[in-house]
Chain A
Amino acid sequence: MRGQPPRHPDDPKAELSELEGTIADAFALKPGDRLVYPAQGVCVVVGPETQEIAGQRLEMVRMKREEDGAAVLVPRGKVASVGLRRVASVELMDGVFHYLAAQLDDPELNWKIRHRDNADRMVGGGVLGIAEVVKGLHALSRLRPLPTKERGQFDNARHLLVAEVAASLGVAPGLAEDFIDYALMPPAGTRFKLKPPPKPILMPSRPPRRRYVVDDEGDGLDDLGLDELGIEGLGEEAAVEGAVEGAVEGAVEGAVEGVVEGAEGEAGETADGAEAPVEALPVPATPATRSPLKLVPALAAAVKAAAPVKAKAGPAQKQPPAAKKPAKPPAKAPAKAPAKSAAKKASKPAVAKKPAGKPVTKKKASSRATDKPAANKGKKK
């Protein structure tokens, strides 16, 4: 059975596991067969027919939705890929009820992963996949109200499950829903003798989201060919800007390395906390590179005192004035600053670790008039 189309042309096509009752060949369908169309519900096959659409003659399979008699047409070639399958057997449905009544392990709390997985399960997971969606979202709804989109998804999944249970067990939909909710929410004091639930359907593993890492932030500027314009100090300005912005935005690494490669991305994703598992990144093994978790206190402190950090970032980059005076060792320069905020403390070791190549020359300090007030402010404090 074919799965969802790949999300990127380079990605391999997802292959779904074979489900019970999956229809691989459209010629196997006969009029009167009851099928489940994942997006529509339970349908009855009316028969094959040919239709001319946009000048093309297409072989179609006509079906009628049981719920309201709506016509559903599926091209013969797509019968396998849309996830058409036969109505689940009574034995499988029995397992589904035991699954619904079983204790659920913790529901997925990451909404992105949950929503994507649920969408996949509803299309390619069979009746057990739909039951998984219903049970998962029901368990989540006990913790907190579902967001609107997932509330709709929950209702759709429940609708599909009710229709399939009713078709499989040969009962009215109203009764099927009572059976489902009796399993999900048994009355107080009710205990079931449960069998082990059927094996869950393995969904195709999504390729992890790609991140293209650049070795050096300056590469982007180099590609622009700005060096050829002959503007002096352009690279240094960019470095200073990056350091200040990085500090303000909470990416302390930005100020530390002035700037560490990919620091913004790392910090952004950590704060997000909702990203899919990301491919292992080629991390440069420099001592300045740290794990984002270790930097969290420093990040928090830097964000808290954004303005002081900005002021402090100036002197950090304006070591040229400090460097001008050869008598003062570089370690004393930060200690001289009177404002000793927590953010400053956090960034102290970072300043010490600053590579020697980074100090900005006199030219830069003089060219950037905006930095001077910042430096003065820092001194005044």
Chain B
Amino acid sequence: MREHSKSSPLGIHALTVAYHRKPVLWDIDLDIPAGSIVGIIGPNGAGKSTLLKACLGLVPAASGRVTVFGKPYETQRALVGYVPQRESVDWDFPVSVFDVVMMGTYGRLGWLRRAGSAERERAHAALESVGISEYAHRQIGQLSGGQQQRVFLARALAQEARLYLMDEPFASVDAATEQAIVGVLRKMRGEGRTALVVHHDLESASAYFDWVVLLNTRVIAAGPTHEVMTHAHLRETYGGRLTLLDEAGERLQGAQRG
């Protein structure tokens, strides 16, 4: 078994995730380097979102474990921020932009304690840094898609985490939002924070990420972007799935059903 670094913001140790016994992620083993912007890239159904959710304990792992700065994730929640896919929530929900950003500060408050002026200041600063302060008191459904994505980003910033897991933050956003997100990511990196970003656009990947994980139900390659983004690796990632593995998975599921 591989040796894992204690200082890594995110250590994934032999993680396997299965839905109804059918594995969707096989034996993922990764150490994410600190202070870097890391892209997770792979085709649809590669398990990119599932990997993030498994790291956060939102989907159960069949085996393996996840460490954050060398300790189990459960004890390190406050250090990890999550930016879910925009479609994962109901944007018609009766809540203001500012209230959503405030949610980022609740993790540290704990039970029964109410947010005070320090939390409100953090939320305002976060809104400012993604450039949507003027919409603070709007209901969230009144924003454009790109602005909604920035709300999620601001909420993560207000959390003041050390490690961020972001699920497709660049998906169908306008050019201004894309630039705002890139700006925030670079600022985070400058402060020594780490971001793990699920991404689907190969063209912009080289420009945005220091490090890339190529994923297709298993890790094809992981490392510095220029070393990993090779034709051979990309062909392996996108060219055809391992059908034998798929079939075995189907049989496992069938055996469970029978």
A complexed with B: no
Q: Name A residues whose Cβ lies closer than 8 Å to a Cβ of B.
A: none
